[in-house]
Structure 1
Amino acid sequence: MIRHYVLFKFKPGVSWDDPRAQEAERTAAKVGGEVPELREWTVGRNKSTRPIAYDFVVVGLLDDMDAVERYLVHPFHQQAISAWREISDWVIADVEE
């Protein structure tokens, strides 16, 4: 199993008051129901106020790296990424469990 972590950090000038951020959050929340490779899907806003903290996280569980690759190119996932690309930068980790 692969646990897929993505942490998003808003670009300067973007906050949760921005409608684009709210739409990106709504879209991200739906990914788990749209991408069949995802066994689990969790999303959430960060509560930490530390300067190094990221703003949003998604965590998915997939069978293997082949499933990760299918998830990455899924059209709904690509739609979600498009929304985040405009307003944030991100880091990822794919961890074997």
Structure 2
Amino acid sequence: MIRHLVLFRLNEGVERDDPRVVKGVEAFRSLEGRIPEILSWECAWNVSDRPIAYDFVINSAFEDARALHRYVEHPEHRAGVALWREFATWVIADYEF
């Protein structure tokens, strides 16, 4: 199994209620059940206000690296990524468990 973690940081001056952000969150929240490779899916706003904290997180699981790759290349995932590129940066970590 592969755990796929993504931590997003909104760009300077971008707020959670920005219409672009709202649309981006909706795009990622809608992926569960739409992409068959996703075995588990959580995404939410970070509740920590610490200065080093990121703003939004995706925590997901996939059967193996091939399934993760199919997810990454899926058109709906790519469309969500394109939205987030407009207002955020992110880091990822993928690990076996």
TM-score category, normalised to shorter length: over 0.9
* 2:65 alignment counterpart: 65
Cross-structure match for 1:14: 14
Q: TM-score scaled to structure 1, two decimals?
A: 0.97
Greater than 2 Å deviation, 4+ residue runs:
none
Tell me the distance in 1 between the aligned counterparts of 2:47 and 2:66: 33
1:35 Cα deviation (Å)? 1.0
Counterpart AA for 1:58? I
TM-score, normalising length from structure 2?
Answer: 0.97
Note the aligned Cα RMSD (angstroms): 0.7
Number of the residue aligned with 2:31: 31
Q: Offset of 1:2 from its aligned partner?
A: 0.4
Please state whether the residue corresponding to 1:7 is helix, strand or coil: strand
Larger helix proportion of the pair: 1
| 1:80 counterpart = 2:83 | no
Q: Which runs of 5+ in 1 are unaligned?
A: none
* Paired positions, count: 97
Shift of residue 42, structure 1, vs aligned partner: 0.5
Runs of at least 5 residues in structure 2 that lack an aligned partner in the other structure: none
Match of 2:91 in 1: 91
Q: How many Å apart are 1:34 and its aligned residue?
A: 1.5
Identity of aligned residues (%): 44
